Every structure is written in C-alpha cells, then in structure tokens.
A and B are shown apart, each in its own frame.
Chain A
Amino acid sequence: MNDPLRRTAWTILAGFLVLAVATTWIQAVAGPDYRDDPRNPRLVASRVGRERGAIVSSDAVVAARSDPSPDTSQTFVRSYPGGADYAHTVGFVSVLFGARGLERERAGDLVSNRDSTISGVLNALMGGDPRPRGLRLTIDDDLQKVALMALGDNRGAVFAVDPSTGAVLVAASTPGFDPNTLIGPDAHLAGQLLDDDPDQPLLDRSIATTYPPGSTFKVITTAAALDAGIAGPSTEYPDPGALVLPGSTATISNYDGKVCVDGTTVTLEEAFVRSCNTVFARLGMEVGAEQLVATAEAFGFNSVIPYDLEILASAIPEARSFADDPPAIAQNAIGQRDVRATPVQMALVAAAVANGGEIMIPYVVSDVFLSDGLIESSTTPIVWRRATSPASAAVLSDMMERVVVSGSGRNAAVPGVRIAGKTGTAEVTGQPPHAWFIGFGPVDAGPGEPQIALAVVIESGGSAGETATGGSVAAPIAQKIFAEFFE
C-alpha cells in the first residue's frame, strides 16, 4: 500500500525537476536578455540613490544637483532646479521611465565610481578619484530662458551655436516638461500624462524631429549653384509669378502667386532676398539632382551629426532616385517634397555660412569638473566638415544680410548689429505651414568677437495658424534671441 504514496512523491519531485529546469532557463540561458532588457528597472535603479555630479549652465546656473537624502543615510536625492528649462538636454533618471539626455549619455562621468564592482575596486587601487564629476554646459541660461519665453505656448524649437566653435548656446524645445515630476512621488501619473499628451512634451524637437525646411533650404540650393559655377548673385532669371514644371502640369508659384519684382527679369540675389520660388525652382533644375544632393550632404544631410545626444539625421533622397524628374528637383530645391531637416541641422547651415563654409562639431558639454571645482577635461572645438567654399560662404553671407536688412527677414533685425538670415514657410498638406528662420550675427565677426548662429521653427504656424510665415512668426523669435545675445 506504499506504492501509490511513492508514486505521488515521485510526481511532486518530477514537478520540482521541471521547476529547476525552468529556473535554469530563466537565469542561465535567458538571463542576460532579461538583465539587459531596457524595461528592467535595475540599471536605472542602481543609479537613482547614488550621488551624481552637478550639471550647470555656462553662466553657472544649476540645472541638476544631488543632495544627501534627509530620510536615509548613504543615499542622495536628485533635483532639477531649472525645471523645464533644461529638461530635454539634461534629461532625468527615473526608476519608472529610465534615463534620458545627458543623465543617460554621460552617466559614466556623473555617477560615482565608488562601488564594489571589479572596475570600481581597481579604480580605487590605482588612485583614481571615485567622486562623481560635474558637467558644465555651453548653454547660456539667459539666452535659453529668452528662447523658451519667445517660443511660448507654440510647438517649436530653437537651436543656437557659436559658429566658430560649435558650442551650443540654446537648445530649446516646446512644449517641455518638468523632470522633477518624473522622479517625484506621483511619477507614474506624471509620466502617463506626458505620454498621452498629443503635443509630445518629452520629444526634443530641436534634435529629434525633422520638418520640411521650406525656403531656408534655398541657402543650400544657392551654395550648390555657386560652388558649381552655374550662377552668381547678379545672374539674371525670368520673373514669372508661377512656373509650369517641365513634363507635367504642376506649377510652382511664389508665396502670394505674384511676380517677384516686375515680371521681366530678376537677379539671383534679389530673388534670394525676396524668396522667389520660381527662380529657385528653375535654378534647382539647372543645378541638377546630383549637385544639389552633394551640397546638401556636404552641409550634413543624410549624416548623423556627432553630438553629446542622439540627433535624428536630416534627409534628402538619393540623387539617382529623382535625377530624371525635373518637377521633383524643382520642389526639393525649395525645401519641399522629400527634404526633411532638424532645427539643429539648419542652425549648422547658418553656422557654416557664418564660419567661412566650415561646420564645427556641435557640443553642449564644455567642461567636466571634479567635486572641488577643478576642471578635469574640457571640450576642444573640432571641425566636422567643409560645407561650401569660403568664396561661396562670403556671397551667401552678403545675400543673407540683405534678407534681414530689406527682405523677408526684416523682423529679425537688431539695431546696430549686422544680422544675416533666411526665412522659410514650409507648406504641409492638411495643416498650417511650419515657420522657419535661420540666421547669424554679426556678419564678418572679427577674431574673438562673440557670434551666434541659430535656427527657429514654429510647428504648424503656431498661434498664427494658416497666416504664419517665417518672416512674421519665426523671425521675431530670432530677433529676441539676437537682442539678448548682443545686449
């Protein structure tokens, strides 16, 4: 009568064997996958309570800090005194939502090395300083605040750099969010609200969204023509109000459907200043797809711009995909159809013109400093690439200056400062146009003279809606930033 009991015992033991196999599978075979799963809160959680270095703006305003926790010894509480001001660039570390921004990308500097891992012990033995490092940003707090204020309730972005170094002066994206809410007691609710918000406050529109660049792309079309020797500023073009594209019934017309000057002929420079679509459509077809794409790529399109954070690549289609399609070339040449650009890319276009045709690698961290304030390392400006020849850059600079003096960009003018720029009003079917302004100042800056290049975009016209243009909506925002910078 013991056999059934024995069999029952064997059944249970077989069950335990199944458990042992399943456990081995989870821990030994699938283990690394579970461990490295981005949803595994352990990676972030291991950083949450530890001391992290401070992050400060170039003018020493604190954007992120760690203070000893009042509740438990040995742990620290992170806070972001700047609130939404630096939310996208600095990011956050949250158990629920992971890490973002510099808090994620520069965790190696920010987090203390004092731990019991082998590398931590080795570091201590080798006399390494285990204290967390702080980061000094290149962003100017006053300028950043002015940019955010100017963007207001609109969806949009401002990205500004020092053209001669690549140091980022403004990285603003609206709507923003307060990272403190994502690490606070109601983080779950706050995160859900942000996730559900159709305006996507978590999205950094300055580097992670592309828009059709509209007429601001004419800078690149012009650079292509100048570099290829096809045209100069005084080259004359016909001046129709609308241009029928070859091989199709489609037309390209000027902003209000009118002629640019008097309907006879117009110089390239005049067409640039007044942003005549018909002229640049014709110019684009003369330049050809190959040269147009090559120049755009020289300015950084189709490349990932090296940066402290991940930048979405701006895009123009491969040349051979539209080389035999003149209407496509014409539309791409005025920044419509398939051309897409991030605000940071267009800021670098302006910076290239300001910097004699060379683009510097943008950077937002200027110094890594130790807890006693000593600077451990500083970022050295590095040339990224040559976008256009110095001669073409000089011609473009003159043309862009005239845009602000007497053309579509007059709203960006600052008295006493030579500002150059280009407006853009990017048509989007089914919604109001995106309003663009790119520019820089001062023109012909002397050695050591502070200079700024920027791009402003207001998504779907902002509060101006269908009536928005780059000149009426984006240029005034650029003007406020220029005014603050040159104050």
Chain B
Amino acid sequence: MTRNAEAVLIAAVATLASIGVAMVQFAGGTWLDADVALTFIAFAFTFGLIHLAFRAWAPNANPLILPIAGFLAAVGFIEVFRIDPSLAALQRWWLAIAGISAALVVWLLRDSGVAVLRRYRYLFLAAAIGLLLLPLLPESWPIHGAVVNGSRLWVRVTVPFTDIDLSFQPGEVAKVLLTIFLASYLADRSEAMATVSRSIGPIRLPEPRHLGPVLVAAGAAFLVLMYQRDLGASLLLFALFIGMLYAATGRGVYVVSGLVAVVVAGVVAYQQFAHVRVRISAWLDPFADFTGAGYQTAQGLFAMGSGSLTGSGLGLGRPDLIPEATTDFVFAAVGEELGLAGSIAVITAYALFVTVGIGIALRCRDRFRKYLAGGLTILVGIQAFLIIAGVVRVLPITGLTTPLMSYGGSSLLASALILALLGRASHEERV
C-alpha cells in the first residue's frame, strides 16, 4: 500500500519537474518542446527505477524518503534548466545514471542486507582516502587531477583513443564511503568509547585507544582536503565525525572538543591562508569588496531580495547573474524565481528529509544500521545547512554542492547511494 503512495508521489515529482520546465520555456517566449517530455521521462525513470527496486528487493522501505528527495531534485533541476538548458540536458543523464546506481545497490544488498558493508569497513576507508587523493594525480597521467575555481577537487579521465574528457568529483562519493566506515567502526566500539576511563577535573575522557583510529581517519581526510583547499568538505567531514561520535556515544566531550578544534583550526586557517581571510571578510561585509571577493555573496543577496515573497516567477528572474547558480548558489536562484515561498519550501524539504532519515535511524534496533542511517542523514542535513548558510550569510561561503539540487553527476550519484542505503536500512528493520 505504501509503495503505491510512493509511486503516486513520484509521478507528482516528475510532473512538477516537467511543468517547471514548461513554465520556464513559456516565460522565455519559446513554445514547449521535447525538453518537457524528456524531463518527465528522466524523473519518472530515475525515481521510478529506485521505486521498482524497492518494490522488488526492499518492499518495506520507508516510502517518504524517495519523494522528498525527488522534490528537491525537481526544484533544483528546474533552476538548472532555467539557467542553462544544455546543462539540464546533461543533468537528465546524470539523473538516469544515479537512478540505475541506486537500483543496483538495492539489488546487490538484496540478500546480504546492509550488514555486509560492516565487514568491509577498512576497504571503504581505503577507497575513500584513495578517492580523496585522486585529484592529486599529475596532469600528464590518463587519470589526473584538475583545478576548478582554485580548488583541486576534480578528476579528469581521458577516454583512450578519443578526445573525450570525463570529469568527476571523487570527494562526493568518498563522503558516503567514510560514513559507512564510521557507522561500522562506531557500531563495534561505541559502548567502549562511551565508557569513562579517566577524568581530568570535570572533563571525563574515554580510553585513548578507542579514539585513535577515528582521529587518524579524520586527520587523513582533513589533510587531503586542506591540501586541496576544499574548506567546505573539510568542515562537512568534521561536523559529520563529531555528529556521529556524539550520536553513538552520547558524550558531550566529543562535541566540546570538536568545537574547540574547529575554533583553533579556524584561527590557524585564518592566519595561514589568504583565501580564508578573503572569505571571512566577504562574509562579514560582502559590499566592502563588491566587485571582488564579496561579488558572489552580494549577487546572491540581490537575487533573493529581488525575489521577495513570491518571486519573479519561473524564467522571469535573472538567476544567471549569480556566479555558480547551478551548484553552490542554486538556493539563491530558487529564492529569486520562487520567492520566500520557494526558499522556505526547500528548507522545509531538507528538514523533512532529516526528520524522516533520523526517524529511520531511531527505529533501527541494529547498531550498525542505526549509525549508518543516522550518519547518512546527518551528512545530507549538514551539507544542506552549510551551503545554504553560506548563501544567506549565516556562515561564510564554504563551497559545497547543494545536495540533490545542484547540477553535477558526482553529487547526484552520492545522493542516490544515500537513498538506496536509507531505503534498504529502513526495509530491514520492518522485515
């Protein structure tokens, strides 16, 4: 029964995406063309495929997580289409690939369940670190790193015997693998880690050996990311570690020491890296260096301010004037064309996603599944929070993709993996 409701909601999501595309085309003065139908097909195929995979191999999966993700993907897609239809055409392929990948993961776990992942945690850790190191490969290799916007986050693969370059951001998938590792590690150790072994004054500390591997993993990830100048991903991973450690152990000392570490790291970064100082000053007063560092933030504010309560209407604003409006700043583009109504809808959808995801985790009796579902949800929630906070000036801009909404295959693929794992984890609790 719930699967049928999910199917209806997915049909609604596909309709929403195609109507959005139609409105953009109408506003642009061109008559509707194949884009409307192709968009419907892409969304129906992607989310329909995951839905069918759930039906076949995870029939008791939570029915809400897919439609909420679909809604966010649809709103993001409409803005990507509005800003650059050729990007949107590619995005449809990324959606399809993400859908196939998610279905594949559900199929692979059909008999073993997510528990199988627990056994291979060091493999995932190695894979994650390997992925994070990939962008450092020299330019002359067939698989090599590439610098985009000052950060070395991309990997380019030159397909042999052709001129075609494929690019992807391995960090996106690495985040999911690291979450799996962490969930697995904490499932084995969380009780020991929660046990107080010694006290220094009021501060009570667990055994150092329980913390060692986690700190090593975190440290390795950070070093790589700092070297690649990806502050957003560093902060995201750090928050994920802290969040998962706290959720698993209930020990406030992790949170406190985490916050202290963030402040110390922040001060050091501020003093050591010019690009960090620039970002901080652009955050405090984006209009001081309006044409330089503050330009993106200011353009985002102009866009959202122009959108006001109800927005300019789809296709009637100028979100194309915002730098990175298809990825980091897609939230500002939504705010401009759909107004405060649209922005609040997006924030609410993320809040719903977190609520549903944490709900899945709360119902899990198995420790690993609980931490996996919780960790993946925290990952999406914190990433959405950090990037939107950058757009609306609650925090400095960190440079992250907007989960599910941004243009980009790597980001969508990571989101699809999360959907598959959340669906499978929720199914296993209800069997």
Stretch touching chain B among A19-27, A153-161, A333-341? A19-27
Say yes or no for B206: interface residue by CB 8 A criterion. Answer: no
Q: How far is the CA of A347 from the CA of B50 in the complex (A)?
A: 78
In this complex, what residue of A is CB-closest to B252?
Answer: A4
Residues 347-368 (chain B) with a chain A CB within 8 angstroms: 347-348, 350-351, 354-355, 358, 361-362
User: A1-56: which have CB < 8 Å to B?
Assistant: 1-9, 12-13, 15-16, 18-20, 22-24, 26-28, 30-35, 37, 39-42, 45-46
Q: Are A31 and B354 in contact (CB under 8 A)?
A: no
Q: Is B288 an interface residue (CB 8 A)?
A: no
Q: Majority SS of interface residues in chain A?
A: helix
Contact of B362 among A5, A28, A34, A41 (CB under 8 A): A5
Instruction: Flag if A13 contacts B306 (CB, 8 Å).
Output: no
Contact flag A34-B305 (CB < 8 Å), given A26-B392, A39-B290: yes
User: Looking at the complex, which one of A1, A16, A28 makes contact with B250 (CB distance below 8 Å)?
Assistant: A1
**A residues near B370, Cβ cutoff 8 Å:** 5
- Is B318 located at the chain interface by the 8 A CB criterion? yes
A12 nearest CB neighbor, chain B only = B381
A41 and B347 in contact, given A12-B381, A26-B392 (Cβ under 8 angstroms): no
Asked whether A24 lies within 8 Å of B340 as measured between CB atoms, the reply is yes
B249 contacts A by Cβ under 8 Å: yes
* B385 lies within 8 A of A22 (CB): no
- A35 touching B389 by the CB < 8 A rule? no
Report the Cα distance A139→B355, complex, angstroms. 69
Does A321 lie at the interface of the complex (its beta carbon under 8 Å from any beta carbon of B)?
no
| B247 x A23 contact (CB < 8 A) | no
The residues in A between 221 and 251 inclusive whose CB is less than 8 angstroms from any CB of B are none
Closest to A41 in B: B321
* Separation of A46 and B385 alpha carbons in the complex (Å): 32
- Which residues of chain A are near B393, meaning CB under 8 Å? 22, 26
List chain A residues, Cβ under 8 A from B306.
31, 34-35, 40, 42
A16 touches B347 (CB 8 A): yes
A47 to chain B, nearest CB (A): 11
Are A19 and B29 within 8 A (Cβ)?
Answer: no
Report the minimum CB–CB distance from B425 to chain A (whole Å): 14
Identity of the chain B residue whose Cβ is nearest the Cβ of A192 in the assembled complex? B291
CA–CA, A40 and B348, complex, Å = 28
A13 pairs with B351, CB closer than 8 A: yes
Bound CA span A12–B386, Å = 11
For chain A, the count of residues having a C-beta within 8 Å of the partner chain is 39
Query: How many angstroms between the C-alpha atoms of A116 and B247 in the bound complex?
Result: 52
B39 to chain A minimum Cβ distance, whole angstroms, is 21
Tally of B interface residues using CB under 8 Å: 54
Q: Is the beta-carbon distance between B305 and A27 smaller than 8 angstroms? A: yes
Known A5-B370, A6-B362, A13-B354; contact A20-B302, beta-carbon cutoff 8 A? no
Does any Cβ of B come within 8 Å of A74's Cβ? Answer: yes
B321 touches A27 (CB 8 A): no
A35 near B308: Cβ-Cβ < 8 Å: yes
Measured between beta carbons, the chain B residues less than 8 angstroms from A429 are none
Within B61-79, the residues touching A (CB, 8 Å) are none
A8 touches B301 (CB 8 A): no
Closest to A22 in B: B392
The residue from B290, B374, B394 contacting A22, defined by CB atoms under 8 A apart: B394
**Chain B contacts of A24 at CB under 8 A?**
340, 344
Q: List 19 A-B contacts (CB under 8 A).
A: A5-B361, A6-B358, A9-B377, A12-B354, A12-B382, A12-B385, A19-B394, A22-B389, A22-B394, A23-B388, A27-B309, A28-B340, A31-B307, A32-B305, A34-B305, A37-B302, A37-B305, A42-B317, A42-B321
Residues of A within 8 A of B (CB): 1-9, 12-13, 15-16, 18-20, 22-24, 26-28, 30-35, 37, 39-42, 45-46, 73-74, 95, 116
Spell out B's residues near A (CB within 8 Å): 27-30, 243, 246-250, 287, 290, 298-299, 301-309, 316-318, 321, 335, 339-340, 343-344, 347-348, 350-351, 354-355, 358, 361-362, 370, 374, 377-378, 381-382, 384-385, 388-389, 392-394
Q: Beyond A8-B243, A12-B385, A37-B302, list 12 extra A-B contacts (CB 8 Å).
A: A6-B358, A8-B378, A13-B355, A26-B301, A26-B393, A31-B305, A31-B306, A39-B287, A40-B305, A73-B29, A74-B28, A116-B316
* In the A-B complex, the 8 residue pairs with the closest CB atoms: A34-B305, A4-B250, A9-B358, A27-B340, A40-B302, A22-B392, A12-B381, A31-B305
